[in-house]
Amino acid sequence: MAQELGVSTVAPLLGSQTTIGMPAQGPNIEGGEPATPPHLSTTPHDNNEESPLPMPQDGTDPQQPGPHINGAAFNMRNTVCTHIRPLDKMPPHTTTTRPWDVTTHSGRNPEVQIIQPVKCVPRKKMDPATRKHMQAVRKENSEKFQGAVRAAIEVQDELINKIAGDYRKTVQTVHSAVTGESVYKKGRAQTIHNAKTHWMGAELNQDKGPGERAQMDEILNKIKEDPRFQNITPEFRAELMKKLAEH
């Protein structure tokens, strides 16, 4: 694009020149030295001083930006093409392009709303003696609370046992009615079948390791063959249910 419009840019090397309005000159075939553009004047300078810019004969100031071509400005000092974003293309919250915008999340995403962080109130410095006193108070209150709960549980157990004895109910039935466990907690009921399989499985797998234990079909066959499980007495039935409940 720059060559089509007659503008060429050269990297800012020492001793290099910038040509505006004409293509770069090639080497002089007759003398073997590169030709100097006729409209630019060069002056020798010291290496410790800033390199002076060539002054064009047309009187333009090289310090000012060069011609603007399709939104691009050619700076004669830096000889670098810098893209200038039009004002209608700028983000709504800023009118300038800062170099650190591209390194932040808000700079890379100007259309995303920024959520301000919640600032926590810093804790106030507390005297060590005051902190120790507050810890002792909290510990004392916790011990009192736990003691009150234990006392209430003891009173509750006494009342439950009294109600169960007066109305000929089991303690579990009265406890469920008082605490509401039957409403909010539905446990898996214990059956005599599960008690039999648990008892026989414990007997068959007592001295066996992993991979050698009896499977369910073998346990059921042993239950059918064992005469103890054919006509179960109330005492043996209670023992089976107790063993399953303890497990």
- Taking only the tens place, the pLDDT of each residue in 12-68 is 444 444 444 444 444 444 545 555 454 444 444 444 445 455 555 555 555 555 444
Q: Tokens 């004047």 correspond to what residue? A: 41
Q: 246 Cβ partners below 8 Å, 6+ apart?
A: none
Is residue 177 scored above 50 in pLDDT?
yes
Does residue 78 have a pLDDT over 70? no
- pTM for this structure? 0.28
| Structure confidence at residue 69 (pLDDT) | 45
Look at residue 99 and tell me whether its pLDDT is greater than 80. Answer: no
Residue 213 has pLDDT above 70, yes or no: yes
Using a pLDDT cut of 90, give the percent of the chain over it. Answer: 18
Residue-level pLDDT at 42: 46
Residue 204 has what pLDDT? 87
24-28, 96-100, 221-225: least confident range: 24-28
Mean pLDDT, the chain, whole residue set: 71
pLDDT for position 112: 84
- On the 0-12 / 13-18 / 19+ scale of CB atoms within 10 A, 10 is exposed
CA distances from 100 to 103, 105, 106, 115, 116 (A): 5, 11, 10, 20, 20
Which of 16, 21, 17 lies closest to 3 in space, CA to CA? 21
**For tokens 């239950």, what's the residue?**
223
Instruction: Identify which has the larger pLDDT, 160 or 56.
Output: 160
174 has a pLDDT exceeding 80? yes
The order of strands in the sheet holding 65-69 is 65-69, 72-75, 81-83
Q: What is the CA radius of gyration of the chain?
A: 48
Q: What confidence category does residue 231 fall into, taking pLDDT thresholds of 50, 70 and 90?
A: confident
